[in-house]
Amino acid sequence: MNAQKSQTDYDLVIAGGGMVGASLACALGNQPLRIAMIEAHNQKLDTPPSYDDRAIALSWGTSQIFRALGLWERLAVKSTAIKQIHVSDRGHFGVTRIDNQEEHVEALGYVITARDLGQVLYGALSQYSNLTILKPAQLTDLAFTDTEAHATITVNHGTNDATREDCSSKLIVAADGGGSSVRQLLNIDTRQYDYRQTAITANVSVSRPHNNVAFERFTAQGPLALLPMEGNRCSLAWTRQNKVADSILALSDEEFLRQLQREFGNRLGRFTRVGQRSAYPLQLLKASAQVMKRVALIGNAAHTLHPIAGQGFNLGMRDVAALAQIVIEQHTAGRDIGLLQALQPYQQWRQRDHQSIIGFTDSLVKIFSNRFAPLALARNLGLIATDIIPPLKHTLAQYTMGMAGKLPRLARGLPLQ
C-alpha cells in the first residue's frame, strides 16, 4: 500500500512540542509567519492533579518572558513564589542567603507543575491562526540543498507509515530534547561529560511552613535541592552517585525519609511524606553548533545541564526569547529567516549565556563534590563572603534569576516588536 503524501509549506517548523517548543510557538503566535509544530505525543493535560505532579522552576527572567507573551496571569495563580534561596554546605559553616527584597523583585523565581504549565501553553496555542499542530507525529527525515530556499522534512503521523507528509519550510527549529532526532539526522556533534551521578526526584511534605524558601544543600553524597510548592510540599532533586541510586530508589518510604532527613537537617521540621520517586542519569551535553543553514537548536537539543541551581529550562527559555526576536527582526527586514547569515546573530548572542551558565553549574558540581579539606574551607569562606558582600551576592542573584548579560526583549517583559 502506497503512503499518502501531501505538500505543505511553512516559514518555520518546530520539531518538538514540549515546554520549550510550545513556548516558541506562543512567542511567534499571531506573527506574520506560517508555523507548524510537530509533537510525538497527545498530551493528557485534563486528568486530575496529583501529589506526584512534576515541578519546574521558573526564574524571574522566565516569568518576564511569559508576562510579555500575555500568559503570566494564568501561570501566576498556579505558581508558588520563591522569596529566598538558602545555600549551605552540610557539615560546614558557610551559608549564603539571597532575598527577593534585596534584589527589588517580587520573587526570585517560581515553582509550577509541568501539568499546569502545559495546560496554559496548550490552551494558548489554540488561539493562534498562523499555527498548525501536527500530533501525534514524528519528523523522520530532513534534507536541503544549497540552491533551494527551503528545507524538506518528512513527517510520519501516528505510529506507522500509513500517512506520510512531506513539508517544506524556510527554517527548522530543533526543540526535541537531549536525544534530538534533528541533531542526529544532521550529524551535529556534541560535547558530553558524564557526571556519574543520578538525580532522584520526588515531591515531599514537611512539618514546618517552607515560607517560600528554596534550599540548595551540598552534601558529601551530592547536592540536594528543595523547591517550595503549595500545600507545604517541596519538590526534591537529590543527586547521588550512580552506584547507590538503585538502592535509594528501592528504600521504603520511611527509610528514604530518614536518610533525607539526615542529609538535609531540620530546617523544615520533619519530612512526613514522599511521593513517587523517579531517577535520571546526569550528564553535560552541548551541541557543537546551535545553527546551520535552515536549522536552529533550542533548549535541551542544544544543551543539557546538571540540575544544580535549576538553570536548564530557564536557559532554554532564553533561547526561545532570543530566537523569536532574531526571526522577527530578519523577517521584518525582508530577509530569508533560514539563511545562515540570518541565524548567526542568534548563535553569537546565545553562546556567551550558554558558556556562562554551563561554567557556573559545572563549577558548582565539581567544587562542592570535592571533600578535600583545604578546598572545603575555601568554598565555605566563599559562601560567607558572598553572603556579606553585596556586589558578590547581587551577581549570584542575577545568574540565579536569569537576568545576567544581554537580555532579549521578551526576557525584559517587552513585546517582540
> What integer pLDDT is reported at residue 378 of this predicted model?
57
- Classify residue 30: in a domain, yes or no: yes
For residue 405, with 0-12 CB atoms within 10 Å meaning exposed, 13-18 middle and 19 or more buried, which class applies?
middle
pLDDT band with cut points at 50, 70 and 90 for residue 396: confident
Number of other CB atoms surrounding residue 215 within 10 Å: 21
- Is 90 exceeded by the pLDDT of residue 46? no
Query: Is the pLDDT reported for residue 387 higher than 80?
Result: no
Q: Please compute the mean of the pLDDT values over residues 55-60 and round it to a whole number.
A: 95
Q: What span, in angstroms and rounded, lies between the C-alpha atoms of 21 and 139?
A: 14
Please tell me the total count of domains within the chain: 1
Give the integer Cα–Cα distance in Å for 227 and 215: 7
Q: What pLDDT sits at residue 68?
A: 97
28 φ, ψ to 5°? -100, 5
The model's confidence at residue 385, banded by pLDDT at 50, 70 and 90, is low
Closest CA to 234 of 255, 261, 196, 254: 261
Torsion angle of the four alpha carbons 62, 103, 395, 209, in this order, in degrees rounded to the nearest 10: -80
How high is the pLDDT of residue 48?
Answer: 72
Q: Which amino acid, 285?
A: L
Residue 6 confidence (pLDDT) above 50: no
Min mean pLDDT across 79-83, 208-212, 223-227 is at: 223-227
Q: Is the pLDDT of residue 209 over 60?
A: yes
User: What CA–CA distances, in Å, run from 319 to 13, 39, 301, 402?
Assistant: 16, 19, 11, 12
The crossing angle, in degrees rounded to 10, of helices 312-332 and 340-369 is 170
Residue 12 lies in a domain: yes
Q: Using alpha carbons only, give the angle 83, 89, 92 rounded to the nearest 5 degrees.
A: 130
251 is a domain residue: no
> Which helix (DSSP H) or strand (DSSP E) does residue 26 occupy?
helix 19-27
Q: Give a yes or no: residue 186 inside a domain.
A: yes
Q: Is the pLDDT of residue 138 over 50?
A: yes
Cβ neighbours of residue 402 closer than 8 Å, sequence gap 6 or more:
59, 60, 61, 62, 311, 314, 315, 317, 318, 411
* 93 pLDDT tier (thresholds 50, 70, 90): low
Has residue 358 been placed in a domain? yes
Cα 6 to its chain centre, rounded Å, is: 34
Half-sphere exposure of 191 (CA within 13 A, CB side): 7
Cβ atoms < 10 Å from Cβ of 330: 20
> What is the mean pLDDT of the segment spanning 74-86?
96
pTM confidence score: 0.91
- Are 319 and 173 in contact, with CB atoms under 8 Å apart? no
Q: What integer pLDDT is reported at residue 92 of this predicted model?
A: 60
Element (H, E) at 259: helix 253-264
How far apart CA 335 and CA 219 sit, in angstroms, is 52
* Cross-strand bridge partners of residue 215: 86, 226
What percent of the chain is modeled with pLDDT above 70? 88
Residue 349 falls within a domain, yes or no?
A: yes
245 occurs within a structural domain: no
Residue 371 has pLDDT above 70, yes or no: no
The answer as to whether 227 is a domain residue is no
Yes or no: say if 361 and 308 are a contact pair by the CB < 8 Å rule: yes
State residue 5's pLDDT score.
42
Q: In this structure, are residues 298 and 289 in contact, taking their beta carbons and an 8 Å threshold?
A: no
Q: What is the CATH number of the domain that holds 157?
A: 3.50.50.60
Judge contact between 156 and 137, C-beta under 8 A: yes
Whether cis (ω within 30° of 0) applies to the bond prior to 136 is yes
Q: Look over the chain and give the mean of its residue pLDDT values, rounded to a whole number.
A: 88
CB of 124 closer than 8 Å to CB of 29 = yes
**Which of these, 277, 345, 285, 348, lies nearest to 312 by C-alpha position?**
285
Give the model's pLDDT for residue 9: 84
> 145 is in which domain, residue-wise?
7-191+283-412
